[in-house]
């Protein structure tokens, strides 16, 4: 039987590389498209001698002509440091990138997944967040290039669905962590783990009372692929994908210090502007429509993450 051919944009990034790997394990042929802005060859090095894996260096804000059966659209810098580095390019990646990938999907009649985000809820006034909540987003702040870009991408996905009958799947991903996070992208889990391993100060922004819910990457990948492959076409989402276990940032700092056995001290720094105070997914919809929920608690996922960074730091 002919292998299903799948395009993964952003395939050399943190999440994209895990999706490529899982799809290859499932017997798919995978084309990874990436401009290597935040993606790294080392994330996909182990896949390169697989004859069913192919890499194209390409920026999705430009048109792309390939022939595939399915598209996973993950291209977009995801950490504040990176998406704020060139905010105009970030919006272009979400908006022009979505138009190009939707145009491609339309021409070849492919099913397409969009990596949306909990950031569409902004600094949420309801807790936990359900898909029906429209969000509280500052349209002109320093996070807006990411938040509004992703919101507009969702609009485009639903208009292509209504107007052109495209088969779409929109997943709103909450904070995810695990091996292959970039150590220099400023995200809280990689920052804290690397700081703890080096016995450096742990930088908690604000008082550390803000909360996040952290999903281990393997659980998330299962969620995304279940959404894409095992739900009927009528189920478009948006659907929250995340782990509802909620922690304050201070709790995370203390947990990481304890698990690493580090002598790091906690220091408090200024809270960046527009930093959401709380975030926790309501995943009732994913449970009901997809039969999916995360299985890996924070402490378990952190073991693998710490081990990854321990090995990674030794290679530097
Ligand atoms: P990442 O930065 O590791 O990966 C993004 C990838 O996209 C990189 O390989 C980068 O080089 C590539 N890219 C960026 N702009 C591009 C462009 N114009 N053309 C082609 N490639 C481009 O980030 P990640 O954590 O793996 O996130 C992947 C996706 O998931 C993103 O769309 C992000 O918004 C979404 N997401 C991630 C999280 C999370 O916690 N990791 C949470 C919510 C949503
Ligand atoms: N596009 C692409 N690959 C394709 C088909 C389309 O990159 O195989 C891009 C193309 O640049 C186009 C965009 O997708 O501008 C939107 O395509 P659509 O057909 O929706 O609109 P139109 O071509 O009318 O602009
Ligand atoms: N954060 C922190 N110290 C760090 C990095 C991040 O206290 O070294 C905080 C940050 O202010 C935010 C939370 O951790 O409240 C999650 O930050 P991250 O950038 O990982 O994700 P996002 O804010 O996009 O959810």
Q: Kindly give the number of the ligand 1 atom that is closest to the alpha carbon of 97.
A: 18
Confidence at 4, pLDDT banded by 50, 70, 90? very high
Identify whether 119 is part of a domain: yes
- Closest residue by CA, ligand 3 atom 14: 188
Which residues are catalytically annotated? 146
Residue nearest to atom 19 of ligand 1 (CA): 59
CA distance 58 to 78: 18
pLDDT score of 89: 98
Q: Residue 115 burial (CB < 10 Å; 0-12/13-18/19+)?
A: buried
Q: Enumerate residues 6+ apart whose C-beta is below 8 A from 36.
A: 12, 57
The pLDDT, as a whole number, for residue 1 is 75
Residue-wise pLDDT for 114-166, tens only, equals 999 999 999 999 999 999 999 999 999 999 999 999 999 999 999 999 999 99
Instruction: Residue 143: give the domain boundaries.
Output: 5-179+215-243+280-295
Nearest CA to ligand 2 atom 11: 63
Task: Provide the phi-psi class of 25: left if phi over 0, else alpha when psi is between -120 and 50, else beta.
Answer: alpha
Are the beta carbons of 148 and 139 closer than 8 angstroms? yes
Which CATH number do you get for residue 32?
3.40.50.720
CB-ligand 2 contact for 91 (6 Å cutoff): no
264 lines ligand 3 (CB under 6 A): no
- Domain-located, residue 250: no
Q: Does residue 259 lie in a domain region?
A: no
- Domains held by the chain: number: 1
Mean pLDDT value across the chain: 97
Q: What was the ipTM of the complex prediction?
A: 0.98
């Amino acid at each position: 039987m002919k292998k299903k051919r799948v395009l993964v944009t952003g395939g050399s990034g943190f999440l994209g590389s895990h999706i490529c790997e899982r799809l290859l394990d499932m017997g798919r042929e995978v084309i990874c498209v990436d401009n290597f802005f935040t993606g790294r060859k080392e994330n996909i090095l182990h896949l390169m001698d697989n004859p069913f894996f192919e890499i194209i260096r390409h920026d999705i804000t430009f048109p792309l002509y390939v022939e595939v059966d399915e598209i996973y659209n993950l291209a977009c810098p995801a950490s504040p440091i990176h998406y704020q580095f060139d905010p105009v390019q970030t919006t272009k990646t979400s908006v022009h990138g979505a138009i190009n990938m939707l145009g491609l999907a339309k021409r070849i009649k492919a099913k397409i997944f969009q990596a949306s985000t909990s950031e569409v809820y902004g600094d949420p006034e309801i807790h936990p967040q359900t898909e029906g909540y429209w969000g509280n987003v500052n349209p002109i702040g320093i996070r807006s290039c990411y938040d509004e870009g992703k919101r507009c991408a969702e609009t485009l996905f639903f208009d292509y669905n209504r107007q052109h009958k495209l088969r779409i799947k929109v997943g709103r991903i909450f904070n995810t962590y695990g091996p292959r996070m970039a150590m220099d992208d400023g995200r809280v889990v990689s920052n804290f783990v690397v700081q703890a391993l080096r016995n450096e100060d742990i930088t908690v922004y604000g008082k550390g009372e803000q909360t996040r819910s952290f999903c281990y990457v393997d659980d998330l990948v299962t969620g995304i692929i279940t959404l894409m492959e095992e739900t009927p076409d009528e189920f478009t989402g948006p659907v929250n994908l995340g782990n509802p276990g909620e922690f304050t940032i201070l709790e995370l700092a203390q947990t990481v210090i304890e698990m690493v056995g580090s002598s790091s001290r906690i220091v408090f720094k200024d809270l960046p502007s527009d930093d959401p105070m709380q975030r926790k997914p309501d995943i009732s919809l994913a449970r009901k429509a997809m039969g999916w929920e995360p299985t890996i608690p924070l402490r378990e996922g952190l073991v693998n993450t710490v081990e990854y960074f321990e090995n990674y730091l030794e290679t530097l």
